Structure 1
Amino acid sequence: MSIRYGLLALLEQGPRYGSQLRAEFESRTGSTWPLNIGQVYTTLGRLERDGLIVPEGGGDAKQQLYSITTAGRQELGEWFTQPVDRTQPSRDELAIKLAMAVGTPGVDITAIIQAQRRHTLAAMQDYTRLKARALAAGPGSGGDIAWLLVLEQLIFYAEAESRWLDHCESRLLRLAAARPRPVTPPAHDPAGPAEPADRPKARGGTSS
């Protein structure tokens, strides 16, 4: 859905070709979410079907200029004003991986967490360097500001994921510490219990 409305937002600024829409979408987001050109034209076809855009002039889809309709502007305005629904979260591969790892024989979930944490922190460092480079370049166009906002969202997301991984690891350690350890029964001596060393020995013969 975000691609659908992203293309509508770009068309709100004026008619564009499919290739232009792809390039501008990736420019705004710093190629964080690269678009396949086939996906762009598929989305444009659906927008045209729904009456939200119209083609201008002849030619095939790859040489077609598209413009937004009144209905398209209305739907775009509603998208901007409505909050993004978080009650139906998208599937997160990392969360699913950890959920499946719990209780799976032979899987070291602690090793999974540690490997993911290293990757997440490395990604956060890369994003931070890109942010510093963008800030050093000074104020730029709207596209530059849009890319900076995306970068900061990625940094915050990586920080939150790192904290969540720390929490997962701490919880697993607490659970492991609280789990009762099996009691080892005493070893059985086939010769029987040892006789106390200070026990007096019986004497032979009868008493007078």
Structure 2
Amino acid sequence: MSLRSSLLATLLLGDQYGLQLHGEIVSRTARATPLNVGQIYSTLERLAAAGLVRLAGQTGDGLTLYSLTPSGRAAAETWTGMPATPLSWSETTEQLLLVSSLPGVDATPLVAAYREAWVGMLLASGPRESGRQDDLGAARALAQAAVAWLDSLDDLGARQVPLARLRPRRGRRPAA
């Protein structure tokens, strides 16, 4: 899943500092790869340079807060309704888990769009000439599993979680 997009979507919850964003993304998704906190800060810098996020002050103990700009909000809202391309299982699950956890965001259109894409892949992976059967068999099985999982999703609104306000334990705090 694109860290850029997941940061923007997570900022829909409100102003947050880097480690807080890290915790929100990790707790809301089933990331296939570890997420380094340094990646968060370097991506936030690029998002700020692109005009998608802005500095929004500091916490009481000096941690920099970030918020969405209007164009950042528009990009986040677009991403929450559009399947990732190219289609992949990890992108599908991570994006759906994150989007369905955001209060006020309806994940139903995203589920429908992913279902349509996976059904399309399922239809495209029909019987083929021999020689590629093993690869096509795997693609077909993955598409079938994805469609079954998407069909099993019930009451996505029940997954919605507000922004966590607990401060994680961390190293030395910046000086005031």
TM-score, scaled relative to structure 2: 0.46
Higher RCO by CA contacts (8 Å cutoff, separation 6 or greater)? 2
Larger Rg: 1
